[in-house]
């Protein structure tokens, strides 16, 4: 083994016949011995670009570091790996050298590296300075389980095409037609493009956090004819340029990151994102973790084909405000997140601006606290799906503090709610209940242990219950339904009903026995609407007619109408349907009986006469009474005839359904005449159901 160092190669006379040497180590740049070769790649230009890896001997021969198993360790470039020295320059130099000689990648021989962000002037930077700027050419970056620590804030590993070549903005000159692969640029735009170029189209802006847009994609230019550009994909929807006031009616010529992977790395803050990508295709990130990062371990925008597996984040409000989600996405498609884990953060997943994300096997530990050691409570939102984003989550587990919100789908921009759906098994384990759980977003099992009480609800086999309220003036009716979690709710209000405080139906409360809940007639996009079939959001928690502590109490509906609304002669109604998730370990027979007794097997109708004055009936006589019921037809089944306070000595001897009315036969078997004071009379009935 030679007894000289890499820094001493310029003093060595390495004559012809010796084509490879191994140094005994390095002085100020490190202490790792390595092999250097004199070949056609070892040139003056390579030494000028990569002086940490190329040297010239005294007899004017160039020597370059040669890879072993396709890798160059960062220590060869001078990294100390002592957790104290800033190894960022050495690591970046190693990546640049490996790319120059087309080697497989860099290696990491130590466990801990201090990596501060890029200094001004070292490289062009878009946004906050990162540790490393990724090049657009595909590569495999395996960090061998190393940890990057830092003292100064900034970003971690970062890609933005603006750091490679300037992004060229190409405004459109004509409207876009759905299905077409041709777009027309503004005058002179075609001169900026050639076949083979990559462009991103951005067409139409969201009303929140512009210039984000739902209609985007990366495409390849196939042909350019003047200002008409042919792309390799069709436009998914039409766009009128006059409908957009901002910048998102354009093509953007840029270089996306493609076929890149990163693995086996831990990033420690203070920092913003761990890995931040803008414009990428076919990217895999695996076994990467973040500690005390502000905005997340991975954030991505305008990415298609992103896979994140076995990645995690740990944070604590006591040491670093982990204000964002562990994994955040905007305008991403075909995004798969496998087994993500997060603890001490404000969210697990955040998706916005039309992001499409699938999450499988996630774990969120709600352990974040403020400076006083208190949980932020309902400020914690485990899953965010905003701005028409779509999230599918399968087999999610949440532990730690209760009091959080499981999901948020609105950013207050009307008509731009997102969608999140939970399948498989949703497991919750907390000392206290969550603030809210969107029950209508669950399709599998809800397996929860709250304060040591274990309950399992099956959302794959829901129980149906239906009730129709035939509206009459001056009603105040309370109706009870089954117990269990209210998983789905829909309601249809006939077109002629006016709703709200001054309407015919000012009050339609959905709650539980012992709690009135919320007034669905008060207005809002998910409340009753005349002439519309409305799906009503249902939550387990403090809102939505399913108060958490009352989840096993019977459903309660309070229906109250105006005194003089003209409903007695109208055929107006509210039809309410609900689907309940019941505890899977309960006795099936008892559960079935409770549902059947609430009327699940019928189409229940009810006519109420709030102040009916029954005529006086003489001793031993009978009275035939005909009451108008527009919904009734011959052949209907009469379920009950109720008279507030009972019949008080009278007997009901017949109830005959007729077309638009019912005929009651009431007898007085007593020895004295009976004249009842006016009170409420109710007729419950259902239509005949034809069977096979």
Indicate where the chain has its CATH 2.40.30 domain(s).
Answer: 168-253
Structure tokens at 312: 């995690």
Check residue 302 and give its pLDDT.
95
Please give the Cα distance from 482 to 446 (Å, whole number). 19
Cis bond before residue 402 (omega within 30° of 0)? no
CB-CB contact of 311 with 275 (8 Å)? no
Check residue 113 and give its pLDDT.
93
pLDDT > 90? residue 514: no
**In which band, very low, low, confident or very high, does the pLDDT at 595 lie, cut at 50, 70 and 90?**
very low
Look at residues 55, 76, 44, 47 and name the one whose alpha carbon lies nearest to residue 12: 55
Q: Tell me the C-alpha to C-alpha distance, in Å, between residue 63 and each of 18, 33, 74, 266, 607.
A: 11, 14, 18, 34, 97
CB-CB contact of 366 with 333 (8 Å)? no
**In which band, very low, low, confident or very high, does the pLDDT at 689 lie, cut at 50, 70 and 90?**
low
Look at residues 332, 343, 335 and name the one whose alpha carbon lies nearest to residue 382: 343
**In which band, very low, low, confident or very high, does the pLDDT at 691 lie, cut at 50, 70 and 90?**
very low
Q: Does domain 168-253 have CATH number 2.40.30?
A: yes
Check residue 598 and give its pLDDT.
47
**Buried/exposed code over 209-246 (b: 16+ C-beta within 10 A; e: otherwise):** eeebbbbbbbbebeebeebebbbeeebeeebeeeebee
Check residue 686 and give its pLDDT.
79
**In which band, very low, low, confident or very high, does the pLDDT at 318 lie, cut at 50, 70 and 90?**
low
Check residue 525 and give its pLDDT.
63
Measure the CA dihedral 116/122/128/133, to 10°. -80
What pLDDT, in 10s, does the model give residues 109-157? 889 999 988 877 666 777 788 888 888 877 888 999 999 998 888 889 9
Check residue 602 and give its pLDDT.
44
CB-CB contact of 443 with 459 (8 Å)? yes
**In which band, very low, low, confident or very high, does the pLDDT at 481 lie, cut at 50, 70 and 90?**
confident
Q: What number of residues does the chain have?
A: 692
Of the two residues 56 and 648, the one the predictor is more confident about is 56
Q: Say what percent of the chain tops pLDDT 70.
A: 91
Please give the Cα distance from 199 to 279 (Å, whole number). 10
- In SS3 terms, 89-142 reads as HHHHHHHHHHHHHCCCEEECCCCEEECCCCCCCCCCCCCCCCCEECCCCCCEEE
pLDDT > 50? residue 424: yes
**In which band, very low, low, confident or very high, does the pLDDT at 2 lie, cut at 50, 70 and 90?**
low
Check residue 614 and give its pLDDT.
86
**In which band, very low, low, confident or very high, does the pLDDT at 322 lie, cut at 50, 70 and 90?**
low
pLDDT > 70? residue 542: no
Q: Indicate the CATH number for domain 463-600.
A: 2.60.120
Non-local (6+) Cβ contacts of 608 within 8 A are 470, 472, 475, 477, 680, 681, 682, 683
pLDDT > 50? residue 599: no
Find the range with the poorest average confidence among 354-368, 382-396, 546-560, 614-628: 546-560
Find the range with the poorest average confidence among 37-46, 209-218, 505-514, 595-604: 595-604
Average pLDDT over residues 237-253: 90
Please give the Cα distance from 317 to 154 (Å, whole number). 18
Can you say how many angstroms the Cα of residue 671 is from the centroid of all Cα atoms in its chain? Answer: 73
**In which band, very low, low, confident or very high, does the pLDDT at 539 lie, cut at 50, 70 and 90?**
low
In 10 A of CB 194, how many CB atoms?
11
Please give the Cα distance from 379 to 397 (Å, whole number). 19
pLDDT > 90? residue 335: yes
Check residue 29 and give its pLDDT.
44
CB-CB contact of 51 with 97 (8 Å)? no
Q: At 117, give phi and psi (nearest 5°).
A: -75, 165
Q: At 12, give phi and psi (nearest 5°).
A: -95, 140
Please give the Cα distance from 327 to 333 (Å, whole number). 14
In 10 A of CB 61, how many CB atoms?
18
In 10 A of CB 146, how many CB atoms?
22
Check residue 445 and give its pLDDT.
92
CB-CB contact of 97 with 74 (8 Å)? no
Q: Helix, strand or coil for residue 621?
A: coil
pLDDT > 50? residue 623: yes
Average pLDDT over residues 513-522: 81
Mean pLDDT of the chain: 85
Please give the Cα distance from 133 to 101 (Å, whole number). 18
Indicate where the chain has its CATH 2.60.120 domain(s).
Answer: 463-600
**In which band, very low, low, confident or very high, does the pLDDT at 589 lie, cut at 50, 70 and 90?**
very low
Q: Whole-prediction pTM value?
A: 0.79
**Buried/exposed code over 466-499 (b: 16+ C-beta within 10 A; e: otherwise):** bbbbbbbbbbebebebbbbbbbbbebbbeeebbb
Burial of 60 (0-12, 13-18, 19+ CB in 10 A): exposed
């Amino acid at each position: 083994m030679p007894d000289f160092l890499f820094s001493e190669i310029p003093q060595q006379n390495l004559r012809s016949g010796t084509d490879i040497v191994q140094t005994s180590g390095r002085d100020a740049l490190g202490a790792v011995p390595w092999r250097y070769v004199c070949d056609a790649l070892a040139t003056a230009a390579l030494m000028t670009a990569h002086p940490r890896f190329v040297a010239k001997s005294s007899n004017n021969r160039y020597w370059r570091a040669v890879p072993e198993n396709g890798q160059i360790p960062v220590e060869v470039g001078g990294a100390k790996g002592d957790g104290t020295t800033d190894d960022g320059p050495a690591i970046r130099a190693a990546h640049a050298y490996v790319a120059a000689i087309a080697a497989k990648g860099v290696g990491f021989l130590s466990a801990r590296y201090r990596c501060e962000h890029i200094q001004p002037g070292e490289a062009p930077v878009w946004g906050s300075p990162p540790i490393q700027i990724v090049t657009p050419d595909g590569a495999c970056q395996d960090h061998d389980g190393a940890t990057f620590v830092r003292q100064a804030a900034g970003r971690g590993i970062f890609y933005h095409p603006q750091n490679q070549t300037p992004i060229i903005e190409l405004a459109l000159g004509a409207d876009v037609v759905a299905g077409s692969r041709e777009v027309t640029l503004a005058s002179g735009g075609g001169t900026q493009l050639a076949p083979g170029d990559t462009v991103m189209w951005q067409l139409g802006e969201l009303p929140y956090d512009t210039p984000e847009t739902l209609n985007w994609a990366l495409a390849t230019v196939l042909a350019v004819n003047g200002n008409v550009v042919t792309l390799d994909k069709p436009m998914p929807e039409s766009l009128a340029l006059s409908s957009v006031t901002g910048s998102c009616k354009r093509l953007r010529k840029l270089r996306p990151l493609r076929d890149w992977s990163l693995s086996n790395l831990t990033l420690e803050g203070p920092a913003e994102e761990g890995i931040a990508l803008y414009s990428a295709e076919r990217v895999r990130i695996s076994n990467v973790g973040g500690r005390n990062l502000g905005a997340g371990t991975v954030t991505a925008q305008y990415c298609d084909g992103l896979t994140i597996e076995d990645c995690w984040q740990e944070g604590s409000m006591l040491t670093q405000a982990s204000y964002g989600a562990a994994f955040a996405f905007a305008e991403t498609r075909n995004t798969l997140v496998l087994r993500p884990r997060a603890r001490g953060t404000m969210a697990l997943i955040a998706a916005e601006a039309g992001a499409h994300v699938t999450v499988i096997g996630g774990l969120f530990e709600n352990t974040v606290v403020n400076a006083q050691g208190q949980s932020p409570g309902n400020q914690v939102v485990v899953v965010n799906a905003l701005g028409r984003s779509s999230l599918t989550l399968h087999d999610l587990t949440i532990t730690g503090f209760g009091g959080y919100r499981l999901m948020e789908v609105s950013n207050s921009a009307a008509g731009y709610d997102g969608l999140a759906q939970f399948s498989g098994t949703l497991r919750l384990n907390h000392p206290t209940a969550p603030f809210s759980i969107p029950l209508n977003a669950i399709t599998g099992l809800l397996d929860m242990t709250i304060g040591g009480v274990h309950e399992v609800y099956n959302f794959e086999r829901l129980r149906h219950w239906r009730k129709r309220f035939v509206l009459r003036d001056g009603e105040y009716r309370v109706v009870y339904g089954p117990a269990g979690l209210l998983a789905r709710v829909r309601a249809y209000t006939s077109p002629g009903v006016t709703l709200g405080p001054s309407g015919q139906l000012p009050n339609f409360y959905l709650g539980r026995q012992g709690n009135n809940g919320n007034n669905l007639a008060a207005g809002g996009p998910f409340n009753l609407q005349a002439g519309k079939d409305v799906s009503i959001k249902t939550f387990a928690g403090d809102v939505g007619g399913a108060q958490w502590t009352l989840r096993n109490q019977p459903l309660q509906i309070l229906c109250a109408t105006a005194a003089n609304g003209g409903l007695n002669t109208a055929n107006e109604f509210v039809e309410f349907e609900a689907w309940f998730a019941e505890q899977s370990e309960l006795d099936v027979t008892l559960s079935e009986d409770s549902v059947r007794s609430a009327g699940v097997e019928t189409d229940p109708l009810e006519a109420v006469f709030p102040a009916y004055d029954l005529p006086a009936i003489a001793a031993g006589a009978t009275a035939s009474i005909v009451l108008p019921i527009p919904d009734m037809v011959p052949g209907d089944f009469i379920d009950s005839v109720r008279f507030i306070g009972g019949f008080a000595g009278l007997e009901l001897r017949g109830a005959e359904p007729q077309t638009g009315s019912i005929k009651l036969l009431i007898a007085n078997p007593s020895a004295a005449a009976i004249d009842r004071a006016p009170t409420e009379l109710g007729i419950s009935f259902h239509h005949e159901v034809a069977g096979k």
